[in-house]
Structure 1
Amino acid sequence: MSEFNHILVVIDPSAEQQKALNRAVQLARLQPCKLTAFVSVYDFSYEMTTMLSGEERESMRQAVIKDRELWLSDYLAAPRAGGINIDVKVVWHNRPFEAVVLAVLEDGYDLVIKGTHDHDVLKSMIFTPTDWHILRKCPCPVLLVKDHDWPQGGNIIAAVNAGSQQQQHQSLNQRVITQAQKMAAMLQASPHLVNAFPGTPVNIAIEIPEFNPQEYNSTMKAHHTDAVTALAKQHHIDTAQCHVLEGMPEDVIPQLAQQLDAEMVVIGTIGRTGLSAAIIGNTAEHVIDRLDCDVLAMKPDDFVCPMQKN
């Protein structure tokens, strides 16, 4: 069974349908866990009211927070009446992603659930969306929810990087597969492994006449197939549920997810930050925008949150 015992559910007050809350309630019905419905609020005009004292501004902020708490409690009446254990947490913060990560650091949540949507590609390259920030910096797993249902008897995909010899990637593969199997058991679904491997570099084939692209491709596929087969055997997954496909992960994984009508893709994210993240992003982020199902992003065991206090 999953180790998600205390879950932070990010509520979007501007949305009519709370996809994250609906998914969290569904999860709570499948396994015992405690939910905390979370909202961060901020109004810049309250900070700019120079005629008021600091105490008066704080009193106004608390009034806004209290109003949001009452709204949230009313919204949660139905699931609470159905026996779901849900707390309410409202904070005043001008950066929603920081508010989420700080809440995880302070209260030790096991999982963050957040609704997501399609991002404008150009905008995503310039301004990192809130859920991408959470993916990079949140120390616990993050479940990004889309509109796909969770029917029993479906498919859960574990996206692995089996060909890598790096210890961090190998360790992350183990976490991703283990979690995918736990989710599959909970949903009575079938776990699948997918591994993308790069095709023949075109420039090498052009520049080196004696280079044999077919041989290169078959060797590369054999290497990745052997690695995936070893992972599958270790986790008792049928080789018929292993998929070693040529191409970029952001192309291969969404195609397989659509083909299998997957309920969820479990993927590892290193959590790259800084300039490298701004320029090239992370594989998980490129994959997420192309998926129509939920994505569960796992961090490495040794991940250190950049917002963690020393």
Structure 2
Amino acid sequence: MKEYKKLLVVVDPTKDKQPALERAVALAEKNQASITVFLSIFDFSYEMTSILSAHEREAMRKGVIDQRVAWLGDLIAPFTRNGMEIQTQVVWHNRPFESIINHAIEGNFDLIVKGTHEHDKLKAVIFTPTDWHLMRKAPVPVLLVKEHDWPVGGRILCAVNVATEDPEHQALNGKVIEYAQSLAAQFDAKVHLVNGYPGTPVNLAIELPDFDAHSYNESIRMQHEQRVQYLASSYEIPIEACHVKEGLPEDVIPELAVELDAELVILGTVGRTGLSAALIGNTAEHVIDSLNCDLLAIKPDGYKSPLQEG
């Protein structure tokens, strides 16, 4: 069973309520884990003030950090009073995602837990650039937390990719399911699998008048169903918990999450950087803007962050 012994919780200094910390405490209680509450701060004005000496600027930065350390102390007090082991860390860094990932690597953390923003008017989740960088570049799993509760007897939805027989994708499917089953055992939840398959290409139907779109669709659907069911049977997941739907994963996954009232979606993500990241993205990045529940993003085994390769 996958255990989380060291949790790195990224807090939002602009919010009174910290759902990421509450979620991490629930996980820590199940795993007898330690928590480090982490805050990365930076104020460009302190760096640019020419009137102050380097020593004075350093003193001002230290003053801001000390204020935040005191604030974190108040934040964690309700939990530490109950015996929870929680440490705090405040760093001055102009790129929050780098400071988070570096701290996670140096401290051998098992999981990064971070809250996300919800737009009040449209109730749409707004993911910050930091969230996107963490999903792309963090070598440890990243749990992005929303307000949705984790009820007893809930549902965890695994997004699997069976469109290819590539060994790396197959291994990542297995890893996603193993993480799901571990959390399901801890929170008495049910594991479901979801897979989206492509519909008939429009150009084929237009260019080939005799093309049987219905038969083509049925063939693709059956192929995906067989592969998902085979995968499910390998992990003793019942057939009725397998969901194969026509459509793009970024549409199918959020729709099913709402339909099942899932508390968590788990998916594998590959870390793209540079031009390919800007042009291609990946399923995780397309899905996150539509989800109404938590998202756990997992990298393939052996993945190295670009920050580790520098």
TM band (smaller chain): over 0.9
Secondary structure at 2:91's aligned position in 1? strand
Q: Any gaps of 5 or more consecutive residues in structure 1?
A: 121-126
Amino acid corresponding to residue 35 of structure 1 in structure 2: I
Query: 1:60 is matched with which residue?
Result: 60
Structure 1 segment 32-71 matched on structure 2, within 5 A:
32-71=32-71
CA shift for structure 1 position 102: 1.2
Aligned partner of 1:274 in structure 2 is 274
Deviation per residue, 1:169-214 (Å, 9 max, x gap): 1111011010011111111010011111111111111111222111
Kept in 2: contact 1:119–1:289 (CA 8 A)? no
Would the alpha carbon gap of residues 119 and 161 (structure 1) be closer, same or farther in structure 2, given more than 3 Å must change?
A: farther
SS in 2 for 1:308: helix
Aligned to 1:84: 84
- Is the counterpart of residue 242 in structure 1 residue 245 in structure 2? no
Does the CA contact (< 8 Å) of 1:8 and 1:35 recur in 2?
A: yes
Structure 1 counterpart SS, 2:104: helix
The one-letter amino acid of 1:191's match is: V
Across the aligned residues of Structure 1 and Structure 2, the Cα RMSD in angstroms comes to 1.6
The Cα of 1:119 is off from its aligned counterpart by 7.3
Aligned equivalents of 2:186, 2:128: Cα separation in 1 = 33
Match of 2:123 in 1: none
Secondary structure (helix, strand or coil) at the match of 2:306 reads coil
Once residues 31 and 149 of structure 1 are traced to their aligned partners in structure 2, the CA distance between those partners, rounded to angstroms, is: 19
Q: SS of 2:286's equivalent?
A: helix
Q: What residue is the counterpart of 2:213 in the other structure?
A: 213
- Tell me, what secondary structure is at the counterpart of 2:220? helix
What per-residue deviation string (whole Å, max 9, x for no partner) do you get for residues 243-288 of structure 1? 1111000111111111111010001111211112112322101111
Whether 1:306 aligns to 2:306 is yes
Percent of pairs identical after alignment? 55
Q: State the SS of the aligned residue for 2:308.
A: coil
Residues 41 and 302 (structure 1 numbering): CA distance in 2 closer, same or farther, change over 3 Å?
same
1:132 aligned residue? 132
Structure 2, unmatched stretches of 5+, are: 121-126
Which whole-Å deviations, capped at 9, do the CAs of 1:279-309 have from their partners, x for residues lacking one? 2322101111111110100001121201114
Cα displacement (A) at 1:229: 1.0
Distance (whole Å) between structure 2 residues aligned to residue 78 and residue 308 of structure 1 = 36
Which amino acid counterpart does residue 4 of structure 2 have in structure 1? F
1:118 shift after superposition: 4.4
Output the amino acid matched with 2:262: A
For 1:151-170, what aligned pairs fall within 5 Å after superposition?
151-170=151-170
- Aligned AA (1:276): S
Deviates more, 1:34-43 or 1:209-218: 209-218
TM-score by length of 2: 0.94
Amino acid at match of 2:251: D
Query: How far has the Cα of 1:19 moved from its partner?
Result: 1.1
Contact 1:118–1:289 at 8 Å: present in 2 too? no
Relative to the length of structure 1, the TM-score reads 0.94
Alpha-carbon distance in 2 for matches of 1:83, 1:309: 39
Question: Taking structure 1 as reference, are residues 69 and 128 closer, same or farther at Cα in structure 2, changes over 3 Å only?
Answer: closer
Q: 1:128 to 1:156 in 2, by over 3 A?
A: closer
